[in-house]
């Protein structure tokens, strides 16, 4: 005969422990879900199936909470007439003003342009997306959505070729500085792309002048050698008004305009592009912004190369402060995010 063992019975203390563990698990799951919902609500805007309605002046109204006495009276690009006959001296040196750089700037403005294309100027409501260079764009499949915006603003030498599925192929405007200029601008841009120079220092004006006028090239004064041959139509070049760098630094990052030369903190090209878009567009969306956690030193920061946060050391950019500034824009609804932040 086979004897049967009596069934195992759990003591009351064991049942209490199991119940407590179950309760803790439920609370943790609830908290995680609630946080994720809040995170998505504030910092993530899923792509709508239908084209979102564009309200004229919406970005201007919401951005007024960021910039105070917000005005679109400031020209987006510098133009010759503002320096040739009316020499209004700027209060600041570059990157926040043009003080001390007027002479070389006059020569640059004489061979470049300042107009906004009629295809953009004539729009009743401008839908814009600022495409950052962040790792979050990799495998995002946002390419088709990005191409549908009226204006697509890109940064520095971020490539398009080979990444169209994630970042799109349309480029209306590309902000750059000499060290970040792609060696062949025709490869990563459209034939009508506006190439917008962000001047951080006087040598940046000297560089663009030598390129466009085919003068003896400037080789010193850069942290990285910029292109010495740069095949571009001068009429595609625009010079960004330093006003936008000034208000990005002052209103968003609370940086002093006068800083010791050895410190010189300044906004990134990405934050500057968002500031520009809020002055030019009626709807502003962003994609590919945000850096990895400061402790995650192995995570790459760009969608197209393997550099990490270590490369930002000594750059003069405070990425933590910029993250707070962008989150404030998201909370106010001044911009919306197509990727997680």
Helix (H, G, I), strand (E, B) or coil at 239: strand
- Residue 26 domain-assigned? no
CA 297, 315, 324, 197 dihedral sign is negative
Residue 259 domain-assigned (yes or no): yes
The CATH number given to whatever domain includes residue 221 is: 3.90.1480.20
* pLDDT tens per residue across span 192-205: 999 999 999 999 99
In this prediction, the residues of the chain whose per-residue pLDDT falls under 50 are 1-3, 5, 8, 29, 31-42
Element (H or E) spanning 334, and its range?
A: none
**Alpha-carbon span 116 to 191, nearest angstrom:** 15
Does residue 176 contact residue 195 with C-beta atoms inside 8 Å? yes
The count of structural domains within the chain is 1
Residue 284 Cα to chain centre, angstroms: 11
User: Left if phi > 0, otherwise alpha if psi is -120 to 50, otherwise beta: which for 290?
Assistant: left
Closest C-alpha among 248, 215, 337, 224 to residue 288:
337
Which has the closest alpha carbon to 341: 62, 79, 82, 136?
136
Task: Identify the domain containing residue 145 by its residue range.
Answer: 52-337
Q: 319: part of which helix (H) or strand (E)?
A: helix 319-332
Rounded-to-integer distance, Cα 266 and Cα 44, Å: 26
CA distance 5 to 194: 83
Q: What is the pLDDT of residue 297?
A: 65
Sheet holding 283-287, edge to edge: 237-239, 194-197, 173-176, 151-155, 127-131, 283-287, 336-337
Predicted pLDDT at 35: 39
CA distance 113 to 189: 18
Is 229 a member of any domain? Answer: yes
The DSSP bridge partners found for residue 308 are 300
Tokens linked to 92 = 């600041």
CA neighbor of 287 nearest in space, from 148, 132, 176:
132
Any domain includes 22: no
Q: What is the pLDDT of residues 26-68, one digit of tens each?
A: 555 454 444 333 433 445 565 655 677 899 999 989 999 998 8
Q: Return the pLDDT at 176.
A: 98
| 216 within some domain | yes
**pLDDT at residue 103 in the model:** 92
Looking at the domain assignment, is residue 261 inside a domain?
yes
Pairing of strands 173-176, 336-337: unpaired
Cα–Cα dist 199/221, whole Å: 13
Per-residue pLDDT reduced to its tens digit, 268-302:
999 999 999 999 999 999 999 987 765 666 778 88
- With respect to residue 39, please indicate whether it lies within any of the assigned structural domains: no
Residues 322, 198: Cα–Cα separation, whole Å = 18
Structure confidence at residue 9 (pLDDT): 56
Q: Is residue 78 part of a domain?
A: yes
Q: Is 176 helix (H, G, I), strand (E, B) or coil?
A: strand
């Amino acid at each position: 005969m086979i004897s049967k063992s009596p069934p195992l019975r759990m003591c009351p203390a064991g049942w209490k422990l199991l119940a407590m563990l179950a309760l803790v698990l439920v609370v943790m799951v609830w908290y995680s879900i609630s946080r994720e919902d809040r995170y998505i609500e504030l910092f993530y805007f899923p792509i709508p199936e239908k084209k979102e309605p564009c309200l004229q002046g919406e970005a201007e109204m919401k951005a007024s909470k960021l910039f105070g006495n917000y005005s679109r009276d400031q020209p987006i690009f510098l133009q010759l007439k503002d320096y040739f006959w009316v020499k209004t001296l700027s209060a600041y040196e570059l990157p926040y003003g043009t003080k001390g750089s007027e002479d070389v700037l006059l020569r640059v403005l004489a061979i470049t342009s300042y107009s906004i294309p009629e295809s953009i100027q004539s729009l009743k409501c401008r839908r814009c997306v600022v495409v950052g260079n962040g790792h979050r764009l990799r495998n995002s499949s946002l390419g088709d959505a990005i191409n549908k915006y009226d204006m697509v603003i890109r940064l520095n030498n971020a490539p398009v070729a080979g990444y169209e599925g994630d970042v799109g192929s349309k480029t209306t405007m590309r902000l750059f500085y000499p060290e970040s200029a792609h060696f062949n601008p025709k490869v990563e841009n459209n034939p009508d792309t506006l190439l917008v120079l962000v001047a951080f220092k006087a040598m940046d004006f000297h560089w663009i002048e030598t390129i466009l006028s085919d003068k003896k090239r400037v080789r010193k004064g850069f942290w990285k050698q910029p292109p010495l041959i740069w095949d571009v139509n001068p009429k595609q070049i625009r010079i960004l008004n330093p006003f936008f760098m000034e208000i990005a630094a002052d209103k968003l990052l609370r940086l002093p305009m006068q800083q010791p030369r050895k410190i010189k903190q300044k906004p990134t090209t990405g934050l500057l592009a968002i500031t520009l878009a809020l002055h030019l567009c009626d709807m502003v969306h962003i994609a590919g912004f945000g850096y990895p956690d400061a402790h995650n030193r192995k995570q790459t920061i760009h969608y197209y190369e393997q550099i990490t946060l270590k490369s930002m050391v000594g750059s003069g950019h405070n990425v933590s402060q910029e993250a707070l500034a962008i989150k404030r824009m998201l909370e106010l609804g001044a911009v919306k995010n197509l990727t997680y932040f």
